[in-house]
Amino acid sequence: MFAADAPTTSSSASSPIGRRFHTGISMRSLSHYTQCEVHALCNPVDLSAEELARVDSLVSEVRTVQRGASLFRANDSFSNLYIVRSGSFKTVVMHRDGREQVTGFQIPGEMLGLDGIVHGRHLCGAMALERSTVCVVPFEPLEDLCRAIKPMQRHLHKVMSQEIVRESNMIMLLGTMRADQRVAAFLLNLAGRYGSRGYSDTEFVMRMTRGEIGSYLGITLETASRMFSKLQHERLVHARGKQVRILDSDGLARL
Residues lying near a copy of itself in the complex (CB under 8 A):
2, 6, 10, 93, 95-96, 99, 101, 103, 114-119, 123-124, 143, 146-148, 150, 153-154, 157-158, 160-165, 167-168, 170-172, 174-176, 215-218
Which residue in the set 61, 143, 144, 222 belongs to the binding site for DNA (CB under 7 A)?
Answer: 222
Start-to-end Cα distance in the chain: 8
DSSP 8-state assignment for residue 162: H
If binding is defined by CB under 7 A, does position 54 make contact with DNA? no
Q: What are phi and psi of 235, to 5 degrees?
A: 60, 30
* Shortest distance (Å) from residue 239 CB to DNA: 6
Stretch in the footprint of DNA (CB under 7 A) among 18-26, 44-52, 159-167, 225-233: 225-233
Q: How far is the CB of 169 from DNA (least distance, A)?
A: 18
Residue 210 binds which entry of a copy of itself, DNA, none, CB below 5-8 Å type-dependent:
DNA
Give yes or no for residue 180 binding DNA (CB under 7 A). yes
43 vs 48: CA distance, rounded Å:
12
119 contacts DNA (rule: CB under 7 A)? no
Largest CA distance in the chain: 55
Contact (CB, 8 A) for 246 and 202: yes
- E strand map for the chain: 61-65, 70-72, 80-86, 89-94, 100-106, 111-112, 125-128, 132-138, 203-205, 237-240, 243-246
Residue 158 CB, shortest distance to a copy of itself, in Å, is: 5
Contacting DNA (CB under 7 A), which of 63, 226, 238, 245? 226
- Residue 151 binding DNA, by CB under 7 A: no
Contact partner, 211, from a copy of itself, DNA, none, Cβ < 5-8 Å per class:
DNA
Q: Is residue 228 a contact point for DNA (CB under 7 A)?
A: yes
* Burial (Cβ within 10 Å: 0-12, 13-18, ≥19) of residue 52: middle
Nearest to a copy of itself of 24, 143 (CB atom): 143
For residue 34, the tally of other CB atoms under 10 A from its CB is 16
43 and 11 in contact (C-beta within 8 Å)?
Answer: yes
Q: What is the Cα–Cα distance from 48 to 203, expressed in whole angstroms?
A: 37
Judged by CB, which is closer to DNA: 98, or 241?
241
CB closer to a copy of itself, 158 vs 245: 158
**Which residues on neighbouring strands pair with residue 136, listed in sequence order?**
61, 82
Binding region for DNA (CB under 7 A): 178-180, 209-211, 218-223, 225-226, 228-229, 239-242
